[in-house]
């Protein structure tokens, strides 16, 4: 998801991947460079990525984000998403030990 968002809206910015090992947990952070508002209270994403742009196809990327986060939440112990003006950060955490 993060790579696709960047390709469509910030192709010269990198997607950052951070691996964080702590005493009782292991986390992976994925940060993109596409600022967008957080989902509305009803769970709908407010940012529409299907605008007219040669780099964006007709796929509803916001729907893919919802689906992707649902899949991720089933695979990790904890997942959080921060929506920032500079981009979003998805943090996936597993307990270790």
Backbone angle region of 54, left / alpha / beta, with phi > 0 → left and psi within -120 to 50 → alpha? alpha
Which pLDDT band, with edges at 50, 70 and 90, does 23 fall under?
very high
Compare 26 and 34 and report the one with higher pLDDT.
Answer: 26
Q: What percentage of the chain carries pLDDT values higher than 90?
A: 31
Q: pTM, whole model, 2 decimals?
A: 0.70
CA distance 97 to 95: 7
Compare 30 and 54 and report the one with higher pLDDT.
Answer: 30
Report the sign of the C-alpha dihedral through residues 28, 25, 20, 34, in that order: positive
Average pLDDT estimate for 52-61 = 42
Which pLDDT band, with edges at 50, 70 and 90, does 39 fall under?
low
Which pLDDT band, with edges at 50, 70 and 90, does 48 fall under?
very low
Average pLDDT estimate for 28-57 = 60
Locus of tokens 């955490």: 93
Nearest to 69 by CA among 24, 27, 39: 39
CA angle centred on 75, ends 70 and 79, rounded to 5°? 65
């Amino acid at each position: 998801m993060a790579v696709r968002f960047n390709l469509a809206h910030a192709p010269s910015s990198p997607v950052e991947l951070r691996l964080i090992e702590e005493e009782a947990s292991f986390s992976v952070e994925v940060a993109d460079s596409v600022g967008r508002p957080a989902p509305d209270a009803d769970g709908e994403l407010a940012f529409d990525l299907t605008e007219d742009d040669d780099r964006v196809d007709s796929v509803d990327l916001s729907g893919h984000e919802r689906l992707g986060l649902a899949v991720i939440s089933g695979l990790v112990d904890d997942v959080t998403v921060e929506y920032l003006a500079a981009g979003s950060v998805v943090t996936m955490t597993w307990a270790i030990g």
